[in-house]
Amino acid sequence: ASGGRMWRWFLNELPATMRESTHRAAGAGWYTFAGYARGTVLVALTDAIMAGIFLQLVGIPLAAPLAVLVFIGAFIPIIGAPLAMLVAMVVALASGGFVTMIVVGVGVAGIGQIEGHILQPLIMGRQVSLHPVVVIIGVALGTYAAGLLGAIVAVPLISVLWSVYSELHTKDAPVTGELPAYSPTPPVRSEGRRCQHQSRLPVPGTPGRTWRRSAMSATTPSPFSTVPRTMRATARLPMLR
């Protein structure tokens, strides 16, 4: 109840034109964040239970601590599950040998497949719909910027920002029909550049010398365009009586 009153007070402090859009953006962001947090906890708990049961059946010591490690690794997208699997395989190699390590690796990888193809779509649904490339880039940037904490908060932060943008963004009409083929066009030289290369006029009184008309004189007539160069300097001086 107090949270609703605080949010209403915050909206009343904003201009009237911004209240509706701010409320919709905040609602979309909170819905996405709550869905991500709730879904991640459920997926992590399910992974930990399955991993603990599997390791106990195989006869791996420290099955409970490894299950807790799998639970923690589920909060780190992309890299959390492989790291937990690697630790479990090392423990299996030390306790049961090479064959046991292979069995544990296959089993933990199977749990990861169940998580990615069944649990994630079933529990989270469309609340967090990001492309895997976006997730990888976000986790990499978060890890580089803030280490382990950045890797954990990167995906929910990107999800919230994307949901807010999708709520406020108004899409234009989609492109329909066949797209036209690209055909490059040859470059066309401007009239000014053509005049610079072609318009060379003889300098009066100086045989064999020419002067080139500039682009400005070709486009904008000047009163000195036909006056020789020696006369231009005198024409610009003020007339003295």
With a cut of 80, say whether residue 175 has pLDDT above it: yes
With a cut of 90, say whether residue 24 has pLDDT above it: yes
For residue range 125-171, what is the model confidence (pLDDT) as tens digits? Answer: 666 777 778 888 888 898 899 888 888 888 889 989 998 998 888 88
Q: What is the Cα–Cα distance from 28 to 8, expressed in whole angstroms? A: 17
Residue scoring higher pLDDT (136 or 241)? 136
Predicted local confidence at residue 224, as pLDDT: 43
For the chain, the average pLDDT equals 79
Q: At what angle do helices 63-73 and 16-58 cross, to 10 degrees?
A: 160
Predicted local confidence at residue 22, as pLDDT: 94
Residue scoring higher pLDDT (202 or 145)? 145
- Report CA-CA distances (Å) from 240 to 102, 216, 230, 235, 236: 105, 30, 19, 12, 12
Predicted local confidence at residue 124, as pLDDT: 72
Task: Work out the percent of the chain whose per-residue pLDDT is above 90.
Answer: 27
| Rounded average pLDDT over 193-219 | 50
Q: At what angle do helices 98-114 and 80-96 cross, to 10 degrees?
A: 150
- Report CA-CA distances (Å) from 71 to 20, 50, 87, 140: 39, 10, 13, 21
Burial 117-155 (b: 16+ CB within 10 A, else e): eebeeebbeebbeeeeeebeebbeebbeeeeeebbbebb
For residue range 75-112, what is the model confidence (pLDDT) as tens digits? Answer: 888 788 888 888 989 999 998 889 999 999 999 889 88
Lowest pLDDT segment from 2-6, 59-63, 78-82:
78-82
Backbone angles phi, psi at 190, to 5 degrees: -70, 165
> 């107090």: which residue's tokens?
2
Predicted local confidence at residue 191, as pLDDT: 56
The count of residues in the chain is 241
Residue scoring higher pLDDT (209 or 42)? 42
Element holding 167 (H helix, E strand): helix 132-168
- Label residue 50 by pLDDT band (50, 70, 90): very high
| Rounded average pLDDT over 31-43 | 89
Element holding 47 (H helix, E strand): helix 16-58
Predicted local confidence at residue 193, as pLDDT: 52
Predicted local confidence at residue 25, as pLDDT: 93
Predicted local confidence at residue 207, as pLDDT: 55
| Tokens representing residue 145 in the block | 């910027």
Q: pTM for the complete prediction?
A: 0.64
